Structures are given as structure tokens and as C-alpha cells.
Amino acid sequence: MRVYEIMQNGGPVMWPLLACSIVVLTVIVERLLFWTQIKRKRNPKLMDEILHLAESGDWQQIKEKSSGCEDHVIRMLNVGILHREYDMSKAMEAEARHMVKNMSQFMTVLDTMITVAPLLGIFGTVLGIISSFEMLGVGGIADPKLVTGGIAQALITTATGLGISIITVFPYNYFKSRIENAIHVMEKYSTSLEVVYRKLVTSQ
């Protein structure tokens, strides 16, 4: 059965389901590109080097080494260092929240599609069954195939909705795990920088 035939047999609800699938695909591709860029910009070696330089309070060297670096963790550390004499913790926390917001972009869209697509599918099936019973009321049971065929076609929307939802769950959980891991890394390095700075201040 071709895609056009499936769309036609599934009824009018197939069009909103098609829109859902396009939205899901677009978001998945956009988020994959986003996380690919994040991974490409990462510089773990420089992060450890910044913490080492912070132990001796060599802020100028840190500024020179991290200049132009687009690693989100290093940017957060630099914000903390810039505001070290005021409130390093709050500065890094604010920057981290901003980064997490960017990482979480469109996640609510995927979450919504996981819920909405099956509901749309069930809605299409209910409409199809209602239509089949109307045909049964008009024509009686002279041609049962007409009714069972209508129900079979109506179930296409449920299968489509469930398919969209199932396919969306995997990338959604993957992106969610990436966000949680990024938060863990930012918390780890921000805490390490705070500890190093407090030791430095105490020893002076």
C-alpha cells in the first residue's frame, strides 16, 4: 500500500498526523545538529587546565587560553571567574540555566507529540467506526465487508499515531539524557572552581 493510499484510507485525521510526523522529524534533525555542534566545541583538556591555573590565581592566563573557545562549560567558568569578587556561584548558575534552556529547546514539542499522536490516532479510529455503523444502519448487514473494511481502514490512524509516538520516544529520551549529562558536567566543574577559589582566597 502506497503512502497516498494510506493517507486516503485513513481519513481526514491522517493529515494532522502527517503534520505531527513532519514536526517530529524537523525537531529531531535540528536537535541532532545542535548536539553535534555542542560535541564539536567541547574541550575537556582546556577545562582541566583552567582549574589548574585557577589554583594559582592566574586569571589573565585563563583569559588568554580560553579566548575564542565556544565550549559551554568553559564559558560558564569564565563567567564565574569574571564575577569572582561578587558572587561566583550565582553568576555560573545563571549562565548554566541559560545554557540548559537552549539545550531543552523544542523538547516540549517532542513530549507533546508523544501524547498527541496516539490520541489523534484513536480519534480517527472512533470517527471511522462511527462512519461504519452509520453505513450499517443505512444498508443493514447485506454487505458486512463494507462495515469491516471501514473499521480496518479506521484502525490505520491508530497504528499511525502509535508509530509516530513510539519513534519519537527514543530521540526524546536520548536528548533528555544528553541534557542531564551536560547539567552534571557543569555542576561538577562549577563546584570544582568554587572550591579552588575558596582555597585560594583562604590561603591569601
Of 179, 181, 180, 188, residue with least CA distance to 47: 188
Q: Which residues contact 9 (CB under 8 A, 6 or more apart)?
A: 1, 153, 156
The single-letter code of the amino acid at 154 is A
pLDDT of residue 57: 82
pLDDT of residue 68: 83
Higher pLDDT, 131 or 18: 18
In the chain, which residue ranges form alpha helices assigned H by DSSP?
A: 3-10, 14-41, 44-55, 59-66, 72-82, 88-103, 107-139, 144-203
pLDDT at 143 exceeding the cut of 70 = no
Q: Which domain holds residue 144?
A: 3-203
pLDDT at 146 exceeding the cut of 70 = no
Model confidence at 203, in pLDDT bands (50, 70, 90)? confident
What would the mean pLDDT of 58-72 be, rounded to a whole number? Answer: 87
What would the mean pLDDT of 84-93 be, rounded to a whole number? Answer: 88
pLDDT at 15 exceeding the cut of 60 = yes
Q: What percent of the chain has pLDDT over 90?
A: 51
- Considering its fold, how many domains does the chain have in total? 1
Model confidence at 168, in pLDDT bands (50, 70, 90)? very high
pLDDT of residue 56: 83
Rounded distance, CA 40 to CA 38, Å? 5
State the pTM of this model: 0.85
**Helix crossing, 59-66 with 44-55: angle to 10°?**
170
pLDDT at 204 exceeding the cut of 70 = no
What would the mean pLDDT of 122-151 be, rounded to a whole number? Answer: 70
Of 31, 81, 94, 114, residue with least CA distance to 194: 81
